[in-house]
Amino acid sequence: MPIKTFRGQLADNAIDTIILHTNTGSTGYRLVKFELMFVDLATSIKSVVKIYKTVQSTATDTIDFNDNTLLAAGILSGKADQTAYPEDMITIFDNEIFNQDIYITHAEVAGSASLNYYIELEQVKLDLNENTVATLKDIRNLS
């Protein structure tokens, strides 16, 4: 199936929305790549980026894998002096299929640095039953 790519830059405490919903809900998506990158290598960074299936009111630096609305989490950290302190990036994501918008949050722990993100989503054609299941799961997550 086709791969859709999304990239952007998030400031500290920012939340981005990626519009994916359709009128019929017959197009689903699966996360296949999630990467984070410094904006400025001369800046120290310690950031948490998360991708959710539901709207988030705030960006936090805590990661809770018990949260069924969490699709992915990533950590990017590094010092301005990268010869002595190389960067670290860890990303973990779920294999779940979803058919609604997703929300990306960024919380910077060590300061107020921005970062870049890159996401690849595999587009999946959903039959009526898969469409219903994906939509009902999203509705349940809203309540």
pLDDT for 85 equals 64
76: tokens are 């990017």
CATH number at residue 37: 2.60.120
Give the E-state strand segments of the chain in sequence order.
Answer: 3-10, 15-18, 27-38, 45-52, 70-78, 88-93, 97-98, 102-108, 115-125
* Tokens linked to 135: 């939509």
pTM of the model: 0.88
State residue 52's pLDDT score.
96
Look at the chain and report how many structural domains it folds into. Answer: 1
How far is the C-alpha of 36 from the C-alpha of 116, rounded, in Å?
Answer: 6
The answer to whether the beta carbons of residues 29 and 108 sit under 8 Å apart is: no
| Segment holding 134, helix H or strand E | helix 128-142
| pLDDT tens digits in sequence order for the chain, 143 residues long | 799 999 999 999 999 999 998 888 788 999 999 999 989 888 888 999 999 999 999 999 999 999 999 999 999 998 877 666 667 888 999 889 898 999 999 999 988 999 999 999 999 988 877 776 666 666 566 55
Residue 98: name the closest of 131, 65, 56 by CA: 131
Q: What is the domain extent for residue 19?
A: 3-142
